[in-house]
Amino acid sequence: MIILASASPRRRKLLKTVVDDFQIITADIDEEKSYKLPPLEAVLDIAKRKGEKIKASHPNDVIISADTIVVFNNEIIGKPTDEENAKEILHKLSGKKHEVITAYCIFKNEQILEKYVISAVFFHKLDEKMIDSYVASGSPLDKAGAYGVQDNKKFPIVEKVIGSITNVIGFPIEEIKKDLKNILKA
């Protein structure tokens, strides 16, 4: 059995494009302590600890865990704490470039594959009206960086992405598909 160690509806939807049958079991871990690490180490640490937690009770299954962070000026920007915080984050990123890093781990038996994908994201210059209406929609409140690139049609926030668009959504499915295929063959 394949288990996705994530509560994210976006990860669930993306994995469904690759695997028909999988189970979802969320791993409740303390992510705050990892945020004291440098960004790349932090995101890898969180993804690995999520997978290890599920692997402990499901040792014979294939576990896929992931974590996504937004990094701006070497600062990790997580999910907003509330609407005001979402507005602050969007103001900070407005008209600027930042990086989205998703780390993922695939556990099979004693094997652990750890990888990460980095994409560069450029924001349009956002005005107050755009930020207010986007935050009022509720969409940014459960996303790292307080935005979802998939919201761009209705709220044109992202000017361009260099790298994997599914990485920016939170699950670099192109890379995961290839690695999952290889690990299942082994």
DSSP 23: E
Q: Which of 21, 28, 61, 67 is catalytic?
A: 67
Question: Strand, coil or helix: what is 90?
Answer: helix
- Coarse DSSP helix, strand, coil percentages of the chain, rounded to the nearest 5 percent: 45, 25, 30
Active site (annotated) includes residue 45: no
Cβ pair 116, 43 in contact under 8 A: yes
Q: What are the contacts of 176-182 at 24+ separation with CB within 8 A? A: 176/15, 176/18, 176/64, 176/104, 176/106, 177/18, 179/106, 179/113, 179/115, 180/2, 180/18, 180/19, 180/62, 180/64, 180/106
| Mutual angle of helices 83-93 and 128-136, in 10-degree steps | 140
Cβ pair 70, 98 in contact under 8 A: yes
Catalytic residue list = 67
